[in-house]
Amino acid sequence: MPAILGTGEHRYRVVDNFAKLPDGWQLTDVASVAVDSKDRIYVFNRGAHPMVVLDRDGNFLRSWGEGLFSRAHGLHIDADDNLYCTDDGDHTVRKCSTDGKVLLTIGIPEKPTPFMSGDPFHRCTHSALSPKGEIYVSDGYGNARVHKFTPDGKLMKSWGEPGTDPGQFNIVHNIATDADGWVYVADRENHRVQVFDGDGKYETQWNNLHRPCALCCGGGKNPTFIIGELGPGLAINRKVPNIGPRLSIVDAKGKRIARLGGEEGPGVMSGKFLAPHGIALDSRGDIYVGEVGVADWKTSFPDEETPAVVRATRCLQKLERVRE
């Protein structure tokens, strides 16, 4: 019996063993996921085949990116099905076609700017687009900044610095925009999502989140957002219940309207999460969750062997909305 997550109108059925890959293939640490206009799923992962493309039933279509990407991290798709691939390993954002042709590169491959210099990029993490096609990039691990670029990749402005005050960041990990041009930033280790206008003016923040990692805007004039929250990061609180990993669904004001999982801490079986790092929605409202943590399992769980289910299938989950 498939696991069911959530309550009321926010109920989702876990589709077990969703990804059907060629013999001998496996996904390794799915950093991010995107869905195009034809409901094809793009799975940006850290394995031998960085971009794996599936149909909505999980059937393998193709792969690309071999030899191009250093370390998959963020993935955004625009209205024309162009993919913005953020690679924190070589400090770039690449705009690609659906068949993998590179159309634009922002950043200099393998040449990071100095740590916390504020200049793009030092281990950038994700990207999003304004309604005018301007490109926002969260930057990320070696900076505490958001950068705004023209559609052709020229830097317009940057904002943010290390810290805990409004407009400051402690691992700016993900970024999203809505149809009105508001910018939403997952300020992971400050346990909040900060909201800015399109020019970087601080507006508000959403609290009561635990290490917000993934961030997906549902679209429309009154969007809902799905936030992937990581579980505890320290050995001393790793098994504390009810703080993740989990998904939270919030409205455009940040009010939580549903929560999926997380009551009993991390897990690898159906209906549990390990580290939800990337989230996407298809046209039917089904959720695709990319998870990381497999490659460094021993770091998180030093006394436990890596379960076979993790090694084989655990990095991508599909949650199918229950329609009654």
pLDDT at 67: 96
Q: How far is CA 269 from the centre of its chain?
A: 21
Per-domain boundaries in the chain: 4-321
pLDDT at 300: 59
Range list of β-strands (E), 72-144: 72-77, 83-87, 92-96, 102-106, 124-129, 135-139
Give the class (CATH, top level) of 4-321.
mainly beta
pLDDT at 312: 46
CA distances from 73 to 85, 93, 135, 166, 173 (A): 8, 10, 16, 25, 10
Tell me the DSSP string of 202-258: EEEEE-S-SSEEEEEE--SSS--EEEEE----SGGGTT-TTS-SEEEEE-TT--EEE
Query: Can you give the pTM of this predicted structure?
Result: 0.95
pLDDT at 305: 66
The pLDDT profile of the chain, 324 residues, written as one tens digit per residue, is: 789 999 888 999 999 889 999 999 989 899 999 999 999 999 999 999 999 999 999 999 999 999 999 999 999 999 999 999 999 999 999 999 999 999 999 999 999 999 999 999 999 999 999 999 999 999 999 999 999 999 999 999 999 999 999 999 999 999 999 999 999 999 999 999 999 999 999 999 999 999 999 999 997 788 999 999 999 888 788 888 899 899 999 999 999 999 999 888 777 777 889 899 999 999 999 999 999 975 555 655 666 666 655 544 578 999 999 987
All residues at 6 or more sequence positions from 101 whose CB lies less than 8 Å from its CB, including other chains: none
pLDDT at 323: 82
pLDDT at 234: 84
Q: In what order do the strands lie in the sheet with 145-149?
A: 124-129, 135-139, 145-149, 155-159
pLDDT at 313: 54
